[in-house]
């Protein structure tokens, strides 16, 4: 998506400027042409030499080059760019951008830019929540600029809070999504992700190791291609990036089922990625079960509803349903059985026997089986790439005669 795209990378004077080197590297690796513009104080944090070496282009900081008198045209740069990303963006630069204070090359170019502008703030937590910063960021949003929200975590001040610049990989993802082909515009997709937690008592549950990474990657991929996504997710530790994703957090299989049954009739496609617990305790203790009991407590389990199977029974002509199968043996046979029994149009098989596939990893190795009899085997890939393949295959099924 970023191949041959012209990207202006604006760097301002914050400690997170060291991450701009990785960002430039990733953008260049993705095929983009990157022109770095630094504010004068950014040069105190990272050298122009580092940035020009990584991008293969001289860095611009001044309105003109002192020894040659050559003028750096902010107007030409503004027209050249397909996107401008300012990372890190300090409170000072955000304030200047919000109020048109064009006293350096970066803000002047910002005012001339016709392309979309992405702003990745980075600052201390108190600066971040100061009404002045909040107001300025809102102003940038109102100008149509995209704010790449900072993450929570330990800051340079050693305080913990919101203000860490988003990781370069995620900034690249936001840009990639922006340029992605919008072939799912007008479609509504339901996705389940993560584990389910089945309560034993107020402090204990039965759960599993599902990280939710695969389901969230599919949600981001579908949303970046223009779909409206309803993501029904069990408890996981992942943030949603695309505003087209509506997150419906649930805990138990029952709650997941209720949310899915309500949503599926409005959707074109359901993608069942969740690792739903097969069993739940038959009742939940209202108070914490105490260790001092004479007898070891016995937890009686009852079967959980099969969400995919329920949706398979509800499925109407024109709707699609996709399942996942995580198998340890007889993989192909079991996956195709599930495809049939749950009335799926496609199933994505991953084997726990494959290194790098399954729970918690950032990679996956899958084989896709379609109800029409096609088999698509892929090598080990990142979950983002697998998500791309899954969506491509769903689109190809929708076009099958
Ligand atoms: O039967 P099994 O759990 O292996 O099937 C896996 C597929 O079925 C996955 O797509 C999973 O999300 C879905 N599933 C479900 N509800 C269950 C069990 C599995 O939706 N209770």
pLDDT tens digits for 341-383?
999 999 999 877 777 666 667 788 899 999 999 999 999 988 8
- Position 91 scores a pLDDT of 97
Q: Are 206 and 230 in contact (CB under 8 A)?
A: no
Enter the DSSP assignment of 43. Answer: G
Q: Are 186 and 194 in contact (CB under 8 A)?
A: no
Q: Please choose from 306, 310, 334, 335 the residue to mutate so as to test ligand 1's pocket, defined by most ligand atoms within 8 A of CB.
A: 306
CB atoms under 10 Å from CB of 317, counted, come to: 4
User: Going by DSSP bridges, is the β-strand pair 301-303/381-382 parallel, antiparallel, or unpaired?
Assistant: unpaired
CA of 352 from ligand 1 middle (Å) equals 16
CA of 165 from ligand 1 middle (Å) equals 37
- All structural domains of the chain with their residue ranges: 6-179, 188-398
CB atoms under 10 Å from CB of 395, counted, come to: 15
pLDDT tens digits for 157-195?
788 888 899 999 989 988 988 898 899 999 999 999 999
CA of 18 from ligand 1 middle (Å) equals 44
Task: Quickly tell me which residue has 């149009």 as its tokens.
Answer: 345
Q: How far apart are alpha carbons 191 and 16 in whole angstroms?
A: 35
CATH code given to domain 6-179: 3.40.50.1950
Structure tokens at 90: 């300090």
Structure tokens at 152: 């929570």
- Residue count (the chain): 401
Element (H, E) at 83: strand 83-89
Note whether 6-179 and 188-398 share their fold: yes
CA of 94 from ligand 1 middle (Å) equals 47
Q: How far apart are alpha carbons 319 and 294 in whole angstroms?
A: 54
Which residues are annotated as catalytic?
208
Q: Which CATH number fits domain 188-398: 3.40.50.10300, 3.40.50.300, 3.30.465.10, 3.30.200.20?
A: 3.40.50.10300
Q: Is the C-beta atom of 272 inside 6 A of ligand 1?
A: yes
pLDDT tens digits for 312-337?
999 999 999 999 999 888 999 999 99
Q: How far apart are alpha carbons 300 and 396 in whole angstroms?
A: 44
- Hey, CA dihedral for 256, 270, 262, 282, is it positive or negative? negative
Task: Quickly tell me which residue has 């005012």 as its tokens.
Answer: 111
Q: Is the model's pLDDT at 69 over the cut of 90?
A: no
Q: Is the C-beta atom of 191 inside 6 A of ligand 1?
A: no
Q: How far apart are alpha carbons 211 and 160 in whole angstroms?
A: 24
Q: Is the model's pLDDT at 67 over the cut of 90?
A: no
Q: Is the C-beta atom of 304 inside 6 A of ligand 1?
A: yes
Which residues is 121 bridged to in the sheet? 89
The DSSP annotation for 160-215 comes to: EEEEEPPPHHHHHHHHHHHHS--TTTT-EEEEEESB--EEEETTEEE-----SHHH
pLDDT tens digits for 72-109?
888 888 899 999 999 999 999 999 999 999 999 999 99
Closest CA to 191 of 282, 321, 73: 321
Q: How far apart are alpha carbons 67 and 48 in whole angstroms?
A: 17
The answer to whether the pTM exceeds 0.85 is: no
pLDDT tens digits for 30-48?
999 999 999 999 999 999 9
The ligand 1 atom nearest the CA atom of 305: 21
């Amino acid at each position: 998506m970023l191949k041959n795209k012209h990207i202006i990378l604006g760097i301002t004077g914050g400690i997170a400027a060291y991450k701009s080197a990785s960002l430039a590297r990733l953008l260049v690796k993705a095929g983009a042409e990157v022109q770095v513009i630094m504010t004068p104080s950014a040069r105190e944090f990272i050298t122009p030499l580092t940035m020009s070496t990584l991008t293969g282009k001289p860095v611009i900081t001044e309105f003109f080059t002192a020894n040659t008198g050559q003028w750096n045209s902010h107007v030409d740069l503004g027209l050249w760019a397909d996107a401008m990303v300012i990372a890190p963006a300090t409170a000072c630069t955000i304030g200047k951008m919000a109020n048109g204070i064009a006293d350096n090359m970066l803000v002047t170019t910002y005012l001339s830019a016709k392309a979309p502008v992405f702003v990745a703030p980075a600052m201390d937590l108190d600066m971040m929540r100061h009404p002045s910063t909040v107001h300025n960021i809102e102003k940038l949003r109102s100008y149509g600029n995209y704010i790449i929200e900072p993450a929570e975590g330990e800051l340079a001040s050693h305080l913990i809070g919101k203000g860490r610049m988003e990781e370069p990989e995620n900034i690249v993802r936001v840009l990639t999504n922006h340029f992605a082909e919008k072939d799912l515009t007008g479609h509504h997709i339901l996705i389940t992700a993560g584990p389910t937690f089945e309560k034993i008592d107020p402090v204990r549950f039965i759960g599993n190791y599902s990280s939710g990474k695969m389901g969230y990657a599919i949600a981001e991929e579908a949303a970046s291609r223009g779909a409206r996504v309803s993501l029904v997710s069990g408890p996981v530790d992942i943030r949603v990036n695309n505003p087209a994703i509506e997150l419906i957090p649930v805990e138990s299989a029952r709650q997941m089922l209720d949310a899915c049954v309500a949503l599926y009739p409005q959707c074109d496609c359901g993608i069942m990625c969740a690792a739903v617990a097969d069993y739940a305790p038959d009742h939940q203790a209202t108070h914490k079960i105490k260790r001092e009991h004479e007898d070891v407590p016995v937890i009686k389990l009852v079967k959980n509803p099969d969400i995919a199977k329920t949706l398979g029974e509800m499925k109407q002509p024109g709707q699609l349903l996709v399942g996942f199968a995580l198998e340890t043996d007889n993989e192909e046979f079991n996956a195709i059985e599930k495809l049939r029994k749950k009335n799926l149009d496609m199933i994505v098989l991953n084997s726990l026997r494959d290194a790098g596939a399954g729970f918690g990893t950032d990679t996956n190795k899958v084989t896709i089986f379609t109800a029409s009899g096609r088999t698509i085997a892929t090598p080990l890939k990142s979950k983002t790439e697998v998500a791309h393949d899954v969506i491509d295959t769903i689109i190809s099924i929708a076009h099958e005669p």
